[in-house]
Chains A and B, each alone.
Chain A
């Protein structure tokens, strides 16, 4: 009787408002969010805003005049030419490398993956220097190239080569984990149904990695258009001829033509925004595919 009469003691009334065991108090949460937003605001939002503000401060017409001025147009044209060559090359390389690495087991695979990462680690300036020394007029192949009237350094081919070097990993790095995660079953399944390798690639593999390819290409494209340090060394900075957009921006800035510099910059900044937008889109699709109910 007595045991029934004394109930379980009530929870202490001084207990704080109910809080999950794995949550922080509200003030800490607000503080952390505040710190994060301030940091990102200072380092991400303001620089972007300053570019756009500088570009459009004096009106659309000034902006338009700045990007259609002959030297600017020449820089844009050269940049587009370079990416039109480099991006397809690195796309083919990325898909081939990812196929070999994701679908097969072979010795030395991890060494190969490290090699593909190498351009990430090397300073762009060193990349430029490597090719100046190899292909420049005082370089090893210089005399031979001069004999055959081939100009690579301080000319467009040199720019293409160093940008190809610098942006080599982007498509491959995007596709390798994606294809490894997808495994081989769908390809095996396609083969048992009588398809050949080519049919399997186009009809089964490619649709599965499509979005990874798209993001890889866009990122590769953005990095190729924006490549600066390596190009600065090999281009020779001939106005209207071997200046890419970033070099043109540098020239304008050093001549105190800030509005023009920001106008050209705004094009590249826009491209960067498109790039991260595509990345978010790809990730969002991915998430939705993995948890269809959640979205």
Chain B
């Protein structure tokens, strides 16, 4: 079931949490709402669920208006960041809850409930925990139980609020791969909120990047990562280096290096900023290559197979960051204080109109 979000607004006093957001989330896909804290992503998710009321705008499920449908009849599955499992019920009773509160004529029989709950517990690979209390489970297990509980009522859409936020790094990585596989199995239209760009890139079919209550960009992970629409998206989706450049005739110049810009040629020329990812900075042994910039290595950190360099470009003020394989660093024979040459391989140039990325 697809979800259509039309001109949703939500304010709390003077704070605008969601600012005229319209989105269409296609059926059967796993969408990530990605943004920093306070970007309105959780509020939007809760509005889709029916846990918050929008000040204006409509929510449609598969074209059908759900805006005024109460949360208990909206048919969404919601997984809370801190699980919100019922502490006093066993795992089995937690998962069965949604079935046992149905009106008597719609309620499945005891045996039927038992089969369905056990099937779900098997799906989340926790059937052996049925008689335990939530407090006896680890964080990752609780999260999977919360998911099973949400799925038990056969929701039309599944909504997850920072599903991995409260877990430690290792469990987090495992659980998100598991969620991806689960989604591929059940193909339920799903939306999850996260502030972790890696998580969004790894798990989702689509990413909606939000900032200050507005949608900055939406698209597939590749689209958003490779073609960020604006400086905010570029810097939010990973580390960046900024180079000051002069934009002229559709080209951005840094020293004698010319970079292509996305700016149409009829745009006024002026000052621009080139955004370059650390792994797109090439380290060169000499200055013979066209456009190479002289730089001094100020620091080297080796993390596993990758070496991270901090460099100061001649004439520049800010440090720039570069990443390269450790083996390459060794073959270049570089160390702290070495003189070297750098060249951006891939960049995006945005006009510097003050709207700089934070």
Which residues from chain A sit less than 8 Å from chain B, CB to CB?
A: 185-186, 188-196, 199, 203-204, 207-208, 289, 292
Contacts and interface: CB of A to CB of B under 8 A. Distances in A.
Most buried by A among B88, B98, B101, B102: B101
Contact of A193 (B51, B98, B135): B98
Contacts of A191: 51, 70-72
Most buried by A among B70, B73, B97, B150: B97
Interface residues of B, number: 29
B86 A204 contact: yes
A192 B77 contact: yes
A195 B101 contact: yes
A289 B135 contact: yes
A199 B84 contact: no
A186 B101 contact: no
B97 A188 contact: no
A193 B78 CA distance: 8
Contacts of B97: 190, 193, 195, 203
25 contacts: A186-B84, A186-B86, A186-B87, A188-B78, A189-B78, A190-B86, A190-B101, A191-B51, A191-B70, A191-B71, A192-B51, A192-B72, A192-B150, A193-B101, A193-B153, A194-B101, A194-B153, A195-B97, A195-B101, A196-B101, A203-B97, A207-B86, A207-B89, A208-B87, A292-B135
A192 B79 CA distance: 9
B80 interface: yes
Given A194-B102, A203-B97, A188 B84 contact: yes
A210 to B, nearest CB: 8
A189 B80 contact: yes
Given A194-B72, A289-B135, A292-B135, A188 B101 contact: no
Contacts of A195: 72, 97-98, 101
Most buried by B among A185, A189, A191, A204: A189
Nearest to A199: B101
B349 interface: no
Nearest to B76: A192
A185 B101 contact: no
Nearest to B97: A193
Most buried by A among B70, B86, B102, B135: B86
Interface string B39-57: 0000000000111000000
Contact of B101 (A203, A207, A208, A292): A203
A203 B94 CA distance: 11
Interface string B151-176: 01100000000000000000000000
Interface string B89-101: 1000000011001
Contacts, number: 67
A185 B42 CA distance: 14
A87 B244 CA distance: 75
Contacts of B98: 193-195
Contact of B72 (A185, A196, A207, A208): A196
Contacts of B51: 188, 191-192
Contacts of B135: 289, 292
Nearest to A210: B88
Contacts of B76: 192
B149 interface: yes
Contacts of B77: 192
A5 B80 CA distance: 63
A208 B84 CA distance: 12
B62 interface: no
A204 B49 CA distance: 20
A199 B101 CA distance: 7
A200 to B, nearest CB: 8
Nearest to A198: B101
A185 B80 contact: yes
Given A199-B101, A289-B135, A192 B49 contact: yes
B163 to A, nearest CB: 14
B132 to A, nearest CB: 13
Contacts of A186: 84, 86-87
B82 interface: yes
Contacts of A203: 86, 97, 101
Most buried by B among A190, A192, A204, A208: A192
Contacts of A192: 49-51, 71-72, 74, 76-78, 150
B217 to A, nearest CB: 29
A191 to B, nearest CB: 5
A273 to B, nearest CB: 29
Nearest to A192: B78
